[in-house]
Amino acid sequence: MCLQGLLLEEATGQEVGYGYVYYVASAERRQVLFDESLRETALQALAAARAIREAGEPPPLSSVPEAKCKGCALAERCMPEESAFLTGAQAAPRRPTPGSNLGRTLYLDIPGAALRKRQGRLIIEADGQMIKDVPLSAVDQVVIGQAASLSSAALSALSDLGIPLYLMEHGRVRSWLQPNWNKNVPLRRAQFRFVELESQSLAVAREIVRGKILNQRTFLQRGNRERKIDLIQSVVERLEGLAAAAKEAEEKESLRGLEGLAGRLYFSGFAKLLRQGEGFDFSSRNRRPPRDPVNALLSYAYSLLTKDCINVIIRAGLDPYLGLYHCERNGRPALALDLMEEFRAIVADSVVLNVVNRGIIKESDFEPVFDGIQLKDGGRKRFFGAYQTRIREEAVHPVLGIVPTTCGSWRSRRAIWGR
């Protein structure tokens, strides 16, 4: 407040000697005098903030008092308790406070529809009629598909409020508009240096593949609790061995071989969990384009997961195209793919199994396109809903021991990678 007073003095040329703090809970207003001591303290804090900015990296978390971290608007990004726990500086973190980004996504997938901005709200119109009215404050992300459009006012509002926009077509992310988050040049330099160190990138790649295989194993094991299918039990045992082998792999090519073998085994078990018949028979993975309903659903789920992981990586200030495990390739968001590997089974595949076995998606929800098939409009809408429900579910974090949503787990990984 004192710094705001100094700015007013500079702008108006008049002395600002005090300000007021209003406490909503007690309905009290307290006067704060801008005396010389407070002015000096405020200027020292400003100088310290500028020094941190010029240094290019945050101060050690161990030097930050917990009292200042609790309730801080930036705690969601630096995650002081989680980082301190991983370095052994403190005990397990407490249950996380929900951040400002709750993963609330507005999907616009109606051909010919338009997204407009009107007095702090997003308006969806189709055929000259308003079909949806959403406050901008209730949106964390916008996804546009098919032949929908948006106004320049809506585009400006999303950019000003830091709300990312994704354009999707035929189940793939075509492009995105991200707010200007990637300003941390030292962090990106550190990312490039880290990737160049083969021993470090290999260590992370081992954990990525090992985590993916273990999650595949867990997913099949849970699905087989009541079914008691011998083939799935055999796959579970073999996946456990492959996860152990991934931990000892000496090069990335070996990891890719283990990942490929694990994938073939996993999908042979995944097929047994699906409701048989009714157009959802599944034998193996195929894509580009997917040629059967299950593969179309898997591809669509992976596209949504990729989109969310790109968002998480960019918000961290990292380069989504420079990965630790996936090879560099023009246009491939390798680091986002690294992040999503461990979540494929427990998020994307889980959603597919859910919508198929519960009859949320039916064979009639698909239509041919090129040499493959894709979901129709109604099917996509229901699938979006199932996906959003899944990423808001809570689960115990395997390392931190806290119970975040899936979105929260992504943010935890993002902050840890940034550190």
Q: What is the CATH number of the domain that holds 217?
A: 1.20.120.920
Q: Do 242 and 159 reside in the same domain of the chain?
A: no
Decide: residue 188, CB within 10 A, 0-12 exposed, 13-18 middle, 19+ buried.
middle
The mean per-residue pLDDT over the stretch 307-330 comes to: 84
Q: Do 320 and 224 reside in the same domain of the chain?
A: yes
Q: Do 136 and 230 reside in the same domain of the chain?
A: no
Q: Do 204 and 343 reside in the same domain of the chain?
A: yes
Which single residue is written with the structure tokens 């969601």? 76
What CATH number has the domain bearing residue 141? 3.100.10.20
Residue 89 located in a structural domain:
no
Q: Are 325 and 204 in contact (CB under 8 A)?
A: yes
Q: Does the pLDDT at position 62 exceed 70?
A: no
Among residues 18, 41, 56, the one where a domain terminates is: 56
Q: Do 328 and 363 reside in the same domain of the chain?
A: yes
Q: Do 173 and 190 reside in the same domain of the chain?
A: no
Q: Which residues pair with 141 in a beta bridge?
A: 105
What mean pLDDT, rounded, does the chain reach? 80
The annotation status of 81 as a binding-site residue, yes or no, is no
Q: Does the pLDDT at position 407 exceed 60?
A: no
Q: Do 159 and 204 reside in the same domain of the chain?
A: no
The mean per-residue pLDDT over the stretch 97-122 comes to: 73
Q: Does the pLDDT at position 130 exceed 80?
A: yes
Residue 10 located in a structural domain:
yes
Residue 20 located in a structural domain:
yes
Q: Do 240 and 362 reside in the same domain of the chain?
A: yes
Residue 395 located in a structural domain:
no
Instruction: With cut-offs at 50, 70 and 90, classify the pLDDT of residue 139.
Output: confident
pTM assigned to the model: 0.71
Residue 234 located in a structural domain:
yes
| pLDDT of 418 | 55
Residue 389 located in a structural domain:
no
DSSP per residue, 315-350: HTT--TT--SSSPP-TT--HHHHHHHHTTIIIIIIH
Give the residue numbers spanning the domain of 143.
104-177
CB-facing half-sphere around the CA of 396: CA atoms within 13 A: 4
The annotation status of 170 as a binding-site residue, yes or no, is no
Q: Do 126 and 273 reside in the same domain of the chain?
A: no
Q: Does the pLDDT at position 59 exceed 70?
A: no
Interatomic CA distance for residues 287 and 273, integer angstroms:
20
Q: Do 118 and 46 reside in the same domain of the chain?
A: no
Q: Report the DSSP pairing between strands 165-169 and 141-145.
A: parallel
Chain Cα centroid distance, residue 210: 20
Q: Does the pLDDT at position 278 exceed 80?
A: no
The annotation status of 326 as a binding-site residue, yes or no, is yes
Residue 381 located in a structural domain:
no
Q: Do 132 and 25 reside in the same domain of the chain?
A: no
Q: Do 20 and 124 reside in the same domain of the chain?
A: no
Q: Please state the domain count of the chain.
A: 3
The rounded percent of the chain whose pLDDT value lies above 70 is 80
Q: Does the pLDDT at position 279 exceed 80?
A: no
